[in-house]
Structure 1
Amino acid sequence: MTARLPSIVALLLASASASPPGTRSAVQSGTSNAAAGPGDRARVAVKPALLPFSPHLSNLPLLTTPQGWQRAGRRGWEGLIAAGPADRQAARWTYANAAIADGRAQEAIGALDVMRQDEPDLMLVPAFRLALGATLAMLDRATPAVDALSTDALAGNPEACAWRILALARGGLPGPALGQVRCAVPALNARPANARAPFLLAAARAAADLGKPALTIQLLETIPAGDPAANLLRGRATIGLGDDAGGRLLLGRARQSGDDGQRIDADLSLIEVAARAGALGGQDKATLRRIRFVWRGDDIEVRALRLSIDLARRAHDLPATLEAGATLFRYFSGGADRAALVAELQQTVAQLLAPDSALPLDRIAGLYWDYRDLAPAAAAGDLLVSQLADRLQAAGLYERAGELLDHQLRVRTRDLAQGPLSARVASLFILAAKPARALSALRDTDGYAYPDEMLWNRHRVEAIALDQVGRTAEAMAVLQDVPDAAVIRAEIAWKRHDWKTVAADAPPPAGGGRLTTVMQARLLRYATALAMLGREGDLAQLRVRYAGAFTGLPTAAAFAALTDAVGAVDPAALSAAMAAIPSASPAGGIADLIDAAPGVVRQN
C-alpha cells in the first residue's frame, strides 16, 4: 500500500480528480473531447471551474512561527477525497500545510504546484509564497526558494527569515544568510532543539565560510555536543581560533560518530590542518587521493580540489595543477573565485607551452590537448600554440602539430585569418600522409573571398593533396590560375616518374652565367626524362647546348652520363647520375610536400 501512495496523491491532487456527483469524466468513459463525435459531446463532462482561493488566503493571519503549519492527520486525506470545486483549493492548502509541518516536502510541493497551476494569482499572496519557499528550501532548491521568499511582505517575518537562512546558505550566499539570523530568532526559539538544528547548522556553516570562527561556535551552542555535523564545524572553528589540539579532538569525534560523508569531511579537515602547518605526510596525500576518488559533487570535493591545486602549485607540478584546476573549473564553474582560478590556469598552460618547459614534447602536446579549453585567450594564446606546433613539426610529429592547429582553425580563428592557417594545417596533414584531412581543412574554410596570394597558396596545397589521393586531373585543374602552376605540375610529374610531362617542360637556352643549383636540377631532370623516353636527338642537342655550362661543376659527370648516347649508357652509371641530381627543386618549399606523398601511382 505504501508503494502506491505517490500515484494516489497525484490522482487526488489533480484538477480533474473529482467531478460533480452523477457525472462521468472523459477519462472514465474512455473518450476524449477530441475523439468524441457530435452526438457524444453532450455526454462528455465539462471540468467545473474552481472558486478562487487567493482572496480568502489573503485575509488569513500570516504565520510567523512554525506552529502556524497545522498538522491535519487523516483530515488532510479525507478533505482531498471529499472536496468539490468550491473547497478543493482549501483542501489542498490544508494538505500542504500538514505536509510542511510533518517535513514531507515532496507531498507539499505537489499540492502547492497544482494550486498554483489552477490559480496563478496565489503567487501574489504572502502566505502562499512562504509555504512554497519553505517547501523548496526543504528540497534543497535554493534559488527558487529564495525567489519565493523575496517579497516585501515577508521581509521581517521570522518564519520566512528562518527559511531564507537555509536557502541562502545552501545556495552559496553566506553573507546574506547570516543577515537573516537576527530576524529569525523568534521562529528558531519556537522550534524544539532537533527541528532548530538544520537552521543553526546552516547559519554556522555560513559563518565558517566567511571566516568567523567565534560566531560559528556561538551559533552551535544549543546543538548537542555529540552531534557530528556540529562537531565538524566546531573543530574547524576551534582550529581557526588557534587551538589545533582541541580542533583535532572535535574532528576526531565527528569522524568516530558520523556517517560516511561526515567521516570523509573530518579526514579532509585534518589533512587541511596538516597542510597549513606544512606537515603533510605521505599517508595524508594518499588519503586525499582516496577522497577525490570516492567522493563527488559537493563542498567536500571542492575543498579537496582546492587543496590539491595548492599542493601541486607548491610542488611546481604543472600537470597536477591543471588536472585539479580543470576539474574545479569544468564541474563547479571555478568555485567562488572563478576569475582568479581561470587566470591561474591560463598562466599554468602558458608555462607548460613555454620553450623552456622541462617536460617532453609529446607530453606537453598531450597535456595541451587535454586542457586546451584553459589556454590563454586572443593573440597570446595563439602565439603559444603556433610555437608548440613549430616544435612538433621540427620533431617530425606532423599529425600532432596538424591536429593542434586544426583545433585553432575551427574553434578560435575567424574570417580571413583562416586562409594562411588552413594552408599550414593542410600542409602538416600532407606531411603526415593524411591528405584527406588536408582537403577537409581547406574545403571547410573556403567560404571567404581570400586575396590572390592567399588563395594561390591554398590552391598549391590543395593540388598536392588531391594528387596524393589519386585525383591528379582535379589537382591540375586547381592549379589553373596559379602563377607557378607549370613548375608545380612538373614537380608532381617528376615525383610520379611521368617522363612525358617532365620532358615537355623544356629548359630555357643557356645563358652566360653560372648554373644555379635549381637550374642544374631542372636540366638533369629533363635529361633523365629524355633518356628514359629514348629521345637521343634531344639528348644530343641538350649535351651540345649545356656541356660547357656544366664544366667544373660537381654535377658534370651526372650530366655527361645522362646525355650520352642511349645505347652507350651504363645502367649503374645512369642510376648514380640520377642519385647525384641536386635536391634543390624548382618548386621551392612546396616540393617538400610533394616529396611527402606516400605510395603514389607511378606512370612510365
Structure 2
Amino acid sequence: MIGLLIGAAALVSASPKTTLAPARLPGFAAALAERPLPTGAAAWSAKRDEAAWASLAAATPATRQALRWDYATSLIARGLAAEAIGVLDVMRADDPDLALVPAWMRARGVAAAMARHTSEALTMLGDDTLLGDSEACLWRMRTLADSYRAAEALGQLRCAMPALAGRTSAARRPFVIAAGSAAVDLGRASPAMAWLNAVPDDDPAANLLRGKAYALLGQMQPARLRLDRVILSGDDVEQADARLATIENGVASHTLPVGEATRQLETLLFTWRGDRIERRALELSVRLATATHDTGRMLASGATLFRYFDLGAASGPLVAQLQTQLAQALAPGSALSLVQAAGMFWDYRDIAPAGPVGNQLVENLVNRLQAAGLYGRAADLLDHRLDTQASDVERGPLTVRIASLQILAGTPDAAIRTLRGTDILAYPPDTLADRRRVEAAALQLLGKSAEALATVEDVPGGGALTAELYWRAHDWARLAAVGEQALPKSLPGVGRSALSEVGQAIVLRQAIALAMLGRESELAALRSRYGRAFETLPTGSAFATLTAQSGSIDPATLSNAMAALPAASPAGAFGDLLDQGSAAMSHPTKAG
C-alpha cells in the first residue's frame, strides 16, 4: 500500500498552491480545518506500519483521507520525511482544498524541513496562517539555523518556546542544537552555552558547538578539549568540522604556525568536498595565502570559492581581489616563466579582468607566446577572448589573428573552422579581404588549391595571391599568364638598385615558368629586358641559367636556380604565412 501511495505522489506537483480541481475524495479538508492545531509531542503521534496499512486497506472513500492523515503524521513522528511527503501529496491530489488548510501545510512544511528541502519548507511554514503557530515557528527556527540564517532563526525563538517545552528532553535535542548553532554563528557564546546545558555532556554535536563557544570566549584550552573529543566520537561531518575549528582557533590565537595551518588545511580540503565546512576552509586558505603572499594558493582557493559557492555580497570583493592578484602575477617582469604565466591565465580565465585591463593582459601574453613560437597557445587565448569578451567590431580582426596563429601552429584545419564558424557577421570590406586571404592560405596548405584560388578571386590585390598559389601548385602555364602582368614595368637604372628582392623573385619565377614550358622566345625577351639589371646581383647566375637555351638546362641546374631565389615572397605576408605554415606542418612538435 505504501508503495502505491508514494508512486502516485510522483505524478503530483509539489507546489503548495495549485489551481483547484474537483476533489475525488471531498470533505476531509473542511474537517481538518475545524480541528485545533496541536503543538509539541501531541502534534505527531507514531503508529506501527502494520496497523496503519491494515486500516488503509479496509478504508472506505469516506474514511480514507482521515486514515491517510493519521498515517502521515505518524511517519513525521518517526522521522520518515520522504514517505510522509508522498502520503500528503496523494491526499492533496484527491482533495485540492487541503492545500488551503493550515494543518496540512504545516505537516507538509515539517516533512520538507526534515528532508532538507529548505525553500519548500520555509514557503509552507511561512504561510500567513502559521506565523503565530508555535510548532511552525519551531521548525522554521531549525530550518533557518540549518541554512546558516542565524539572526532569522533566533528571531523565531519566542514564538517557538511553547512547542519546544511540550517535548521530551530527547525530542528537544535537535532544536536546542539548532538554536545553539545559530547563537555561535552570531558570536553569542554565552547564550549558546546556556542552550547547550540542556544537552548531555557526551553529545558530539553539542561538544562541537561548546568548543566553538569556548573559543569565542577566548578559553582555548577547554575549546581544544571539546573539539578533540568530537574528533574521537563524532560522525564524519562533525569530525571534519572539529578539525577545521581547531585550525581556525590555532590561527586566531597565533599558536599554530601559518605553514602548519596551511598543511593541515590542504589535508582537510583534499578529503572533504562541499557544504559549509569546505567554504570555511577555503576562506581561511585565502586569508593565509594573502598574508603570506602565496599567489598560487590564493588564486586556487579563491577561484574554488567563487565557482562553487553562493557568496552573496562577498562575491564582488573576492573577485576584485583575485583579478588584482592575477594581473600582478602576469604583469611583464613577473617571476613566472612564460609557460607558467600562460597556464595560470588559462586556469583562471573565468575570473580574469574584463575590459581594457583584461584585453591588455591577454595581449601581453599572446605577444610573448608568439615571440616564443607557441602559436597554438596564443591562438587559444585569443579564441577565449573571442568567445567571452569581444564586441562585434573586434571580432573580425580577432578572427584573422586567431586563424593566422593556427596556421603558424600547423593546424590550418582549425583556422578554417575559426573563420567559417564566425561567418555570421557582416564585416567591413578590408576585414573581409583579410579573412579571405587567411582562409586561402589554410586551404592551400590543406591541398585544396582550387578552393584557395576561388577564395581570393575578388580580393583586392588578388593577382599577387593568385600568382603565389599557381607558383606553389607548379601550374606553370597559368603562372606565366598572370606573371607577365606583374613584371616590373621599368628599370630606373642598372645594378643592385634596379630590382628589389621582390622584383627579382617575380622575374625569376616568370623565367622558371617559361623555362618549364619551353617558351624560348619569351625567355629571350625576358633576358633582353632584365639581363643588365641581373648582371651585378647575387641572383644573376640563376637568371642567366634560366634564360639560356632550354636545351642546356637539366633538372639539377633548374633545381639549383630555384634554390637561389630570394627569400622575399612577391605575395608578401600571404607568402610568408604559407611558408611558415608549411614548415609547422612538417615539424608539428615545434609548432607551439
TM-score (norm 1): 0.85
Quick one: structure 1 residues 158 and 437, their matched pair in 2 at CA, closer, same or farther if it must change by over 3 Å?
A: same
1:34-77 per-residue CA deviation (whole Å, 9 max, x = no partner) reads xxxxxxxxxxxxx9931221111111112233323233446533
Give, in angstroms, the shift of residue 182 of structure 1.
Answer: 2.1
Q: Verify the 8 A CA contact 2:512 2:546 in the aligned structure 1.
A: yes
2:352 is the alignment partner of 1:386: no
Quick one: structure 1 residues 376 and 599, their matched pair in 2 at CA, closer, same or farther if it must change by over 3 Å?
A: closer
2:74 is the alignment partner of 1:81: no
Q: Verify the 8 A CA contact 1:520 1:582 in the aligned structure 2.
A: yes
2:172 is the alignment partner of 1:179: no
Give, in angstroms, the shift of residue 372 of structure 1.
Answer: 2.5
* CA distance in structure 2 between the partners assigned to 1:255 and 1:154 by the alignment: 40
User: What secondary structure, in the 3-state scheme, does the structure 2 residue paired with 1:480 have?
Assistant: coil
User: What secondary structure, in the 3-state scheme, does the structure 1 residue paired with 2:383 have?
Assistant: helix
Match 1:9 to one of 2, 16, 30? 2
2:302 is the alignment partner of 1:325: yes
User: What secondary structure, in the 3-state scheme, does the structure 2 residue paired with 1:447 have?
Assistant: coil
Tell me the percent identity: 49
Give, in angstroms, the shift of residue 580 of structure 1.
Answer: 4.6
User: Which position in structure 2 is the counterpart of 1:362?
Assistant: 339
2:100 is the alignment partner of 1:124: yes
Compare relative contact order (CA 8 Å, sep 6+) and give the higher one, 1 or 2: 2
* CA distance in structure 2 between the partners assigned to 1:496 and 1:360 by the alignment: 42
Quick one: structure 1 residues 548 and 218, their matched pair in 2 at CA, closer, same or farther if it must change by over 3 Å?
A: farther
Match 2:490 to one of 497, 501, 510? 510
2:531 is the alignment partner of 1:543: no
Give, in angstroms, the shift of residue 13 of structure 1.
Answer: 7.0
Give, in angstroms, the shift of residue 477 of structure 1.
Answer: 0.9
Q: Verify the 8 A CA contact 1:13 1:92 in the aligned structure 2.
A: no
User: Which position in structure 2 is the counterpart of 1:230?
Assistant: 206
* CA distance in structure 2 between the partners assigned to 1:142 and 1:59 by the alignment: 28
User: Which position in structure 2 is the counterpart of 1:265?
Assistant: 241
Match 2:456 to one of 476, 479, 482? 479
User: What secondary structure, in the 3-state scheme, does the structure 1 residue paired with 2:456 have?
Assistant: helix
* CA distance in structure 2 between the partners assigned to 1:318 and 1:137 by the alignment: 41
* CA distance in structure 2 between the partners assigned to 1:173 and 1:251 by the alignment: 24
Give, in angstroms, the shift of residue 332 of structure 1.
Answer: 2.4
Q: Verify the 8 A CA contact 1:159 1:187 in the aligned structure 2.
A: yes
* CA distance in structure 1 between the partners assigned to 2:534 and 2:182 by the alignment: 89
* Residue identity matched to 2:3: A
* CA distance in structure 2 between the partners assigned to 1:354 and 1:493 by the alignment: 45
Q: Verify the 8 A CA contact 1:496 1:600 in the aligned structure 2.
A: no
Aligned counterparts, 1:39-78, within 5 A = 49-73=24-48, 76-78=52-54
Q: Bigger shift: 136-145 or 204-213?
A: 204-213
Q: Verify the 8 A CA contact 1:130 1:149 in the aligned structure 2.
A: yes
Q: Verify the 8 A CA contact 1:62 1:127 in the aligned structure 2.
A: yes
Aligned counterparts, 1:136-155, within 5 A = 136-155=112-131
Match 1:114 to one of 90, 105, 112? 90
User: What secondary structure, in the 3-state scheme, does the structure 2 residue paired with 1:481 have?
Assistant: coil
User: Which position in structure 2 is the counterpart of 1:405?
Assistant: 382
Q: Bigger shift: 421-430 or 204-213?
A: 204-213
* CA distance in structure 1 between the partners assigned to 2:356 and 2:310 by the alignment: 25
Quick one: structure 1 residues 561 and 14, their matched pair in 2 at CA, closer, same or farther if it must change by over 3 Å?
A: closer
* CA distance in structure 1 between the partners assigned to 2:320 and 2:412 by the alignment: 38
* CA distance in structure 1 between the partners assigned to 2:272 and 2:564 by the alignment: 68
Give, in angstroms, the shift of residue 143 of structure 1.
Answer: 1.1
Give, in angstroms, the shift of residue 459 of structure 1.
Answer: 0.8
* CA distance in structure 1 between the partners assigned to 2:422 and 2:270 by the alignment: 43
1:73-116 per-residue CA deviation (whole Å, 9 max, x = no partner) reads 46533432222111211111111122222323233222211112
Aligned counterparts, 1:245-284, within 5 A = 245-278=221-254, 279-280=256-257, 284=261
Q: Verify the 8 A CA contact 2:24 2:95 in the aligned structure 1.
A: no
User: Which position in structure 2 is the counterpart of 1:205?
Assistant: 181
User: Which position in structure 1 is the counterpart of 2:408?
Assistant: 431
Structure 2 alignment gaps of length 5 or more: 10-21, 586-592
Match 2:293 to one of 303, 316, 323? 316
* Residue identity matched to 1:458: R
2:419 is the alignment partner of 1:468: no
2:351 is the alignment partner of 1:377: no
* CA distance in structure 1 between the partners assigned to 2:555 and 2:91 by the alignment: 99
* Residue identity matched to 1:71: A
Give, in angstroms, the shift of residue 286 of structure 1.
Answer: 3.7
Q: Verify the 8 A CA contact 2:137 2:157 in the aligned structure 1.
A: yes
Quick one: structure 1 residues 12 and 428, their matched pair in 2 at CA, closer, same or farther if it must change by over 3 Å?
A: closer
User: What secondary structure, in the 3-state scheme, does the structure 1 residue paired with 2:457 have?
Assistant: helix
* CA distance in structure 1 between the partners assigned to 2:253 and 2:477 by the alignment: 81
Quick one: structure 1 residues 344 and 584, their matched pair in 2 at CA, closer, same or farther if it must change by over 3 Å?
A: same
Quick one: structure 1 residues 572 and 77, their matched pair in 2 at CA, closer, same or farther if it must change by over 3 Å?
A: closer
Quick one: structure 1 residues 368 and 228, their matched pair in 2 at CA, closer, same or farther if it must change by over 3 Å?
A: same
User: What secondary structure, in the 3-state scheme, does the structure 2 residue paired with 1:172 have?
Assistant: coil
Q: Verify the 8 A CA contact 2:412 2:445 in the aligned structure 1.
A: yes
User: What secondary structure, in the 3-state scheme, does the structure 2 residue paired with 1:596 have?
Assistant: helix
Give, in angstroms, the shift of residue 453 of structure 1.
Answer: 0.9
Give, in angstroms, the shift of residue 483 of structure 1.
Answer: 1.1
Structure 1 alignment gaps of length 5 or more: 1-7, 17-46
Give, in angstroms, the shift of residue 311 of structure 1.
Answer: 2.9
User: Which position in structure 2 is the counterpart of 1:583?
Assistant: 567
Q: Verify the 8 A CA contact 2:383 2:402 in the aligned structure 1.
A: yes
2:221 is the alignment partner of 1:241: no
Q: Bigger shift: 375-384 or 469-478?
A: 375-384
Q: Verify the 8 A CA contact 2:134 2:161 in the aligned structure 1.
A: yes
* CA distance in structure 2 between the partners assigned to 1:559 and 1:404 by the alignment: 46
Quick one: structure 1 residues 121 and 379, their matched pair in 2 at CA, closer, same or farther if it must change by over 3 Å?
A: farther
1:148-176 per-residue CA deviation (whole Å, 9 max, x = no partner) reads 01122221222111100111122232221
Q: Verify the 8 A CA contact 1:69 1:97 in the aligned structure 2.
A: yes
RMSD in angstroms over aligned alpha carbons? 3.0
Give, in angstroms, the shift of residue 134 of structure 1.
Answer: 1.2
* Residue identity matched to 2:224: R
User: What secondary structure, in the 3-state scheme, does the structure 1 residue paired with 2:419 have?
Assistant: helix
* Residue identity matched to 2:46: R
Number of residue pairs matched? 564
